[in-house]
Amino acid sequence: MTIETAAPGYGWEMPKKFDPDDVLSRPLMANLATVTADGAPRNAPMWFIWEDDAIWLLGSTEASAAVKHLERDPRCAVEIVHFDNEAGILLHLGLRGAATIEPMSPDRFKRLLHKYLGPEATWNRWFVNTVADFDHPNGRLIRLARESIFTNNVSFFKTGPELAWPPK
């Protein structure tokens, strides 16, 4: 695995690194970039969970264009941004590698939903029964075990060289 930091070719480097787990543990949107059959880029915002040193995203053999693209060409990138304008936080994390399409794991799916929706007792039953069908035969998980990870702490946009992140 390669860990990169921003702007090495520009003669400067981001002044403060951050722990990728800080971004990966938050309920943020992951943007999955794939390549279509005609070579065009495609981007899809998705919920994710970070487990077993891989990012896991939801997919379906029936309804997910991302699954179809990745079955044909597994190369992809995932970008996640933690942005808090008021606090002056801007953390960017990117992963690159080759994804695999895995069978649905209802337990992993439930942990992913817990990350975004909170305790299971509070979940919207219509959403769970209609959209988040844990046992649907077409359900799949997209697994990206990173080949490289890119972090960029740009939390100086409000503060100047005194970074807003990490907190002091």
Whole-number Cα distances in Å, 10 to 5, 6, 13, 42, 135? 12, 9, 8, 28, 49
pTM, rounded to two decimals = 0.85
Assigned architecture for domain 2-153: Roll (2.30)
Beta strand 2-5 with 148-153: parallel, antiparallel or unpaired?
parallel
- pLDDT of 158 over the 60 cut: yes
15-29: pLDDT as tens digits: 577 889 999 999 999
110-123: pLDDT as tens digits: 999 999 999 999 99
30-87: pLDDT as tens digits: 999 999 999 999 999 999 999 999 999 988 777 789 999 999 999 999 999 999 998 8
Whole-number Cα distances in Å, 107 to 51, 61, 81? 12, 19, 26
Q: Are 24 and 91 in contact (CB under 8 A)?
A: no
pLDDT value at position 1? 45
Query: Residue 122 corresponds to which amino acid?
Result: T
* Distance from C-alpha of 83 to C-alpha of 93, rounded to nearest angstrom: 11
* Distance from C-alpha of 62 to C-alpha of 96, rounded to nearest angstrom: 25
pLDDT value at position 157? 77
pLDDT value at position 140? 86
Q: Where are the domains of the chain?
A: 2-153
Lowest mean pLDDT of 7-21, 83-97, 107-121, 136-150, name the range: 7-21
pLDDT value at position 13? 55
